[in-house]
Amino acid sequence: MPVLHLKAKPNAQANQLSVAPDGTITVRLKAPAQDGKANACLLAYLAEVFGVTKANLTLVSGHTAPFKKVDVAGLTEETYRATLERYQGA
């Protein structure tokens, strides 16, 4: 099960995932960082990006911090890497 290490940035104009050349993952979220709205938005968006259900995603750490770890279940390493490659340089 791959674990995503990412930085979440709430209050964006649109949900967007980008992967920098050094592999750093940034997710911009439309939701505000209050009452868990950004975390819920993050999990819903990542489920969409990776083509899994929200039940397959677990926020492991970073519940109140911008740097988060998200466990992605039900995904092969190959699919995980291929999905991130699509967002490289985005």
CATH of the domain at 15: 3.30.1200.10
Residue range 10-51, pLDDT digits in tens: 999 999 999 999 999 999 999 999 999 999 999 999 999 999
- Provide the number of structural domains found in the chain: 1
DSSP string of the chain?
Answer: --EEEEEEE-S-SS-EEEE-TT--EEEE-SS-SSTTHHHHHHHHHHHHHHT--GGGEEEEE-TTSSEEEEEE-S--HHHHHHHHHHTBT-
Q: How much is the pTM?
A: 0.93
Do residues 57 and 72 touch, judged by C-beta distance below 8 A? Answer: yes
Q: Flag whether pLDDT at 90 surpasses 70.
A: no
Other C-beta atoms closer than 10 Å to the C-beta of 6 total 20
Segments forming the whole domain that contains residue 21:
3-86
Interatomic CA distance for residues 72 and 3, integer angstroms? 6
Return the pLDDT at 9: 97
Return the pLDDT at 65: 95
